Chain A
Amino acid sequence: MPRRTTSVGRCMAQVAMVMNLDKCIGCHTCSVTCKQTWTNRQGTEYAWFNNVETRPGQGYPRGHEDQDKWKGGWRLDGRGRLVPRSGGRARRLARLFANPELPSLDDYYEPWTYDYETLISAPLGEDLPTARPRSLIDGRPTAVTWGPNWDDDLGGGPEHLAGDPVLRRMNDQVALEYEQAFMFYLPRICEHCLNPSCVAVCPSGALYKRIEDGIVLVDQDRCRGWRMCVSGCPYKKVYFNHSTGKAEKCTLCYPRIEAGEPTVCSETCVGRLRYLGVLLYDADKAGEAAAVPDERDLYEAQLDCFLDPDDPEVVRAAEESGIPHDWITAARHSPVRDLITRYRVALPLHPEYRTLPMVWYVPPLSPVVDALTRSGHDGEDPANLFGAIDTLRIPLDYLAGLFTAGDPAPVEAALCRLAAMRAHMRRINLGEERNPDIARGVGMDEHSIEAMYRLLALAKYEERYVIPTGYAVDADRDADPGDGCSLEGHGGPGMYDADAFHAPPVAAAGAPKGGLRDRINLLNWNGRGRPQGLFPPRGDEGGNR
């Protein structure tokens, strides 16, 4: 639970995400809609701001978690200070002319298309024409040997699994026999870290963390293409646009967040497993938290940074930092805060990178349930389930390798809470007497366990996404929405009609403006009324309704 702090340092707000992995079916809808929105351009063919990996698996790019190789994130130097793992400022500038840790296109995959043209232009003949693959990089015929989710659903088998860095670090002799294999899906976006190492390694100062909402962005006009951020990010979620020569990354769909809307990946998630909300944190504590000596303390240290928005002192500190009241209210109703600090079922991804990531995950209970069911037991029986969480060491240790730097205790606690929730709700649904001991056994009460059930299982839209609309520190100075956006360079990530992106549906329907003059964008129409421009003007109206 959030601790009462006697003195609050600099209070900052962060829009954070939690994903409930039990509900992810690996459909890649989030990846596809994200790609259609942000990276369907030349130069970013290979880039997936959102990708879904099957774990165990190598991930995308291949083996990105192997920081001995890629040198992403932070490490502690001899005096216990934080330095980027790839070295300090002088070493970075010395390596300016060729970044030794940059992944090559082979580590992602070579994007390709097909010669569809030959299907209709081939001369009449005995053989059926074929559309052969062709590289999108150099235009030559290519052999497709890897893709962004090549090892999906454990495809490729042990040969590919051996490349999983988390699996390699587990000391057990893990049997990768297929009948014993477990798997789950891990959707990944940029973590929008509190201590972002991509920002720290950018020589140009083009990457920055926004004060208002903590979103980490690349200023396309300041980026000079030094590529340090690509290797500096341990999650490999910054990509180099080889066409514009600029770095690009997940923007947490900031134009949508500013309008109070969830990100595209969240909005289109069919499993309804993503949660978005505000977290208040103490920025002064974040530096200390990232520098705790033992990796396994990082999870707790990061929890300590989060502030309780019901604490009057926190509210005062937030107001001092210029955080508006509706943001503080949103922080009180934040589903993300509930899952992270109140129920403690969400865990950070790879805290050992010391970046204090802000996209957290509810670990999946399903590998445990599946394993139980396969062994002939009732996987939903609470007694079996609690016992299995403790005895099924492989899934547990693997999850600990992902979420808690190898410490199984927090993962076990989170899984037990989820198991308790299942057991509690099962009794209710079967009409049996409630057993308050189930909730008490995992440090919760009946009320909070049912609230958690509502949030995780029913997952109402308004409860999953509690996003206040954007504000700007020093709002009086400018914050003119008509201002240009630095993402709008030719071929850049913001090549969109700003009106179409920002306009709320009603306003767009009622008052089309800018490039949409006299026309109606049906995507923005909420279906009500008869907006101007839907029909061509009648002769006697002259277009004035």
Chain B
Amino acid sequence: MTTHVRIALWGVLPYLSLTVLIAGTLWRYRYDRFGFTTRSSQLHEARMLRVGGPLFHYALLFVAGGHVMGLLVPEALTQRLRVSETMYHTVALTMGGAAGIAAVCGLAVLLWRRLRVPAVRQATSRSDRLVYPLLTVVLLAGLTATASSVANPYDYRLGVSVWFRSLFALDPDVPAMAHAPLVYQVHALLAMVLFALWPFSRLIHAFTAPVGYLIRPYVVYRSRARATPYRHPATAGPVRRKPTVRRKRIDAPH
């Protein structure tokens, strides 16, 4: 691999991907708020979804947590906390492996359902056709990387993680990633493509996680005057107000 390609892949592409992710999300929020949805197909098929949906999503939340641990927490910190290297990797392998396998199993159920149930297949969009295979490959590559650590003792915390953190310091450590095993590179590369597609696919629903529900009063009241401030910028006339959703809340009756 030439130096230029390395710099392009591990020094430029991450920023491109991140830019598309952020700008794309903002663009979609402004121009297609109506499109922010899970596009659930539970109405068509519930039995398999009830197994596959939670399995995949919960496992994915664990996987995301594992990535935060592995990529953002430097080795120096765990050493200071007197977590031995073998113990760390044993935990990472078992927990990460279990979550990864669960996510792959969940995805398998969901994919089977999407391909084999005619109504669900019918409801599959073009972006789904791109995102589902990509997601599958990213997941499998990540799982392979985890599994490969049994045979091949590559310490990603001294390679991939260093590169990942250096991105946020705006000083990408290209060699750290360029010397990582191929499976890690494939995983990272395709993940970057996935993040770039994120805002333009159904994956956008991950950003609408309804955490505010936990602190909201049960019954929501809104005034008619304030109920329609959002206007589609492309079709509405000159903007006289900020196109934000303002809600007047008055206390619920209980």
Instruction: Point out residues on A near B: beta carbons under 8 Å.
Output: 10, 81-82, 84, 89-90, 92-93, 96-100, 102, 104-105, 135, 137-140, 194-196, 199-200, 202-205, 207-213, 217, 219-227, 240, 242-246, 283-288, 290-291, 470-475, 477-479, 482-486, 488-490, 492
In the bound complex, do residue A99 and residue B42 qualify as a contact, i.e. CB atoms below 8 Å apart?
A: yes
Cα separation A291 to B252 with both chains bound (whole Å) = 14
Q: Is B2 interfacial (CB 8 A cutoff)?
A: no
The chain A residue with its CB closest to the CB of B232 is A484
Nearest CB in chain A: distance from B182 CB, A: 33
Nearest CB in chain A: distance from B218 CB, A: 4
In the bound complex, do residue A138 and residue B118 qualify as a contact, i.e. CB atoms below 8 Å apart?
A: yes
Cα separation A25 to B220 with both chains bound (whole Å) = 37
Cα separation A100 to B46 with both chains bound (whole Å) = 8
In the bound complex, do residue A224 and residue B210 qualify as a contact, i.e. CB atoms below 8 Å apart?
A: yes
Q: Which of A98, A242, A283, A290 is B54 in contact with, Cβ under 8 Å?
A: A98
In the bound complex, do residue B213 and residue A93 qualify as a contact, i.e. CB atoms below 8 Å apart?
A: yes
Chain B residues whose C-beta falls within 8 Å of the C-beta of A477 in the assembled complex = 225-226
In the bound complex, do residue B232 and residue A199 qualify as a contact, i.e. CB atoms below 8 Å apart?
A: no
Chain A residues whose C-beta falls within 8 Å of the C-beta of B230 in the assembled complex = 221, 484, 486
Q: Which of A90, A105, A479 is B224 in contact with, Cβ under 8 Å?
A: A479
Asked if A211 meets B250 with Cβ closer than 8 Å, knowing A242-B44, A244-B34, the reply is: yes
Q: Is B39 interfacial (CB 8 A cutoff)?
A: yes
Contact residues of B between 187 and 235, Cβ < 8 Å to A = 205, 208, 210-214, 216, 218-232, 235
Q: Is B67 interfacial (CB 8 A cutoff)?
A: no
Q: Which of B50, B226, B232 is A98 in contact with, Cβ under 8 Å?
A: B50
Cα separation A287 to B118 with both chains bound (whole Å) = 46
Q: Is B179 interfacial (CB 8 A cutoff)?
A: no
In the bound complex, do residue A195 and residue B219 qualify as a contact, i.e. CB atoms below 8 Å apart?
A: yes
In the bound complex, do residue A483 and residue B228 qualify as a contact, i.e. CB atoms below 8 Å apart?
A: yes
Asked if A246 meets B37 with Cβ closer than 8 Å, knowing A82-B254, A226-B210, the reply is: yes
Asked if A104 meets B219 with Cβ closer than 8 Å, knowing A93-B214, A210-B227, A482-B237, the reply is: no
**Can you offer 11 A-B residue contacts whose CB atoms are under 8 A?**
A98-B49, A104-B46, A105-B119, A195-B219, A204-B208, A204-B213, A211-B221, A211-B250, A240-B43, A472-B225, A484-B232
Q: Which of B35, B57, B223 is A211 in contact with, Cβ under 8 Å?
A: B223
Contact residues of B between 116 and 153, Cβ < 8 Å to A = 118-119, 121-123
Chain A residues whose C-beta falls within 8 Å of the C-beta of B88 in the assembled complex = none
Name the 9 nearest CB pairs between A and B, nearest first: A489-B34, A287-B253, A203-B210, A287-B254, A245-B37, A472-B225, A200-B218, A138-B118, A484-B231
In the bound complex, do residue A205 and residue B220 qualify as a contact, i.e. CB atoms below 8 Å apart?
A: yes
Q: Is B78 interfacial (CB 8 A cutoff)?
A: no
Q: Is B154 interfacial (CB 8 A cutoff)?
A: no
In the bound complex, do residue A221 and residue B33 qualify as a contact, i.e. CB atoms below 8 Å apart?
A: yes
| Interface SS majority for chain B | loop
Cα separation A92 to B211 with both chains bound (whole Å) = 11
In the bound complex, do residue A210 and residue B223 qualify as a contact, i.e. CB atoms below 8 Å apart?
A: yes
Cα separation A176 to B219 with both chains bound (whole Å) = 42
Chain A residues whose C-beta falls within 8 Å of the C-beta of B245 in the assembled complex = 219, 221-222
Cα separation A84 to B217 with both chains bound (whole Å) = 13
In the bound complex, do residue A291 and residue B34 qualify as a contact, i.e. CB atoms below 8 Å apart?
A: no
Asked if A102 meets B42 with Cβ closer than 8 Å, knowing A199-B219, A484-B231, the reply is: yes
Contacts A219-B245, A226-B210 supplied; 13 other A-B pairs, CB < 8 Å: A81-B254, A93-B210, A98-B54, A140-B118, A205-B247, A208-B221, A209-B220, A225-B38, A242-B41, A246-B34, A472-B223, A479-B224, A483-B229
In the bound complex, do residue B220 and residue A474 qualify as a contact, i.e. CB atoms below 8 Å apart?
A: no
In the bound complex, do residue B253 and residue A284 qualify as a contact, i.e. CB atoms below 8 Å apart?
A: yes
Cα separation A484 to B231 with both chains bound (whole Å) = 5
Cα separation A209 to B220 with both chains bound (whole Å) = 6
Q: Is B236 interfacial (CB 8 A cutoff)?
A: yes
Q: Which of B122, B218, B236 is A137 in contact with, Cβ under 8 Å?
A: B122
Q: Which of A137, A205, A291 is B119 in contact with, Cβ under 8 Å?
A: A137
Chain B residues whose C-beta falls within 8 Å of the C-beta of A478 in the assembled complex = 225-226, 229, 241
Chain A residues whose C-beta falls within 8 Å of the C-beta of B57 in the assembled complex = 96-97
Q: Is B40 interfacial (CB 8 A cutoff)?
A: yes
Q: Is B36 interfacial (CB 8 A cutoff)?
A: yes
Nearest CB in chain A: distance from B211 CB, A: 8
Chain A residues whose C-beta falls within 8 Å of the C-beta of B232 in the assembled complex = 484, 488
Cα separation A322 to B156 with both chains bound (whole Å) = 64
In the bound complex, do residue A212 and residue B119 qualify as a contact, i.e. CB atoms below 8 Å apart?
A: no
Which of A96, A245, A475, A489 has the most chain B CB atoms inside 10 A of its CB? A245
The chain B residue with its CB closest to the CB of A489 is B34
Chain A residues whose C-beta falls within 8 Å of the C-beta of B212 in the assembled complex = 205
The chain A residue with its CB closest to the CB of B121 is A138
Nearest CB in chain A: distance from B108 CB, A: 16
Contact residues of B between 27 and 70, Cβ < 8 Å to A = 33-44, 46, 49-50, 53-54, 56-58
In the bound complex, do residue B222 and residue A210 qualify as a contact, i.e. CB atoms below 8 Å apart?
A: yes
In the bound complex, do residue B38 and residue A485 qualify as a contact, i.e. CB atoms below 8 Å apart?
A: no
Cα separation A102 to B49 with both chains bound (whole Å) = 12
The chain A residue with its CB closest to the CB of B208 is A224
Chain A residues whose C-beta falls within 8 Å of the C-beta of B225 in the assembled complex = 472-475, 477-479
Chain A residues whose C-beta falls within 8 Å of the C-beta of B235 in the assembled complex = 484
The chain B residue with its CB closest to the CB of A483 is B228
Asked if A227 meets B221 with Cβ closer than 8 Å, knowing A82-B254, A93-B213, the reply is: no
Cα separation A243 to B53 with both chains bound (whole Å) = 19
In the bound complex, do residue A492 and residue B43 qualify as a contact, i.e. CB atoms below 8 Å apart?
A: no
Cα separation A244 to B225 with both chains bound (whole Å) = 26
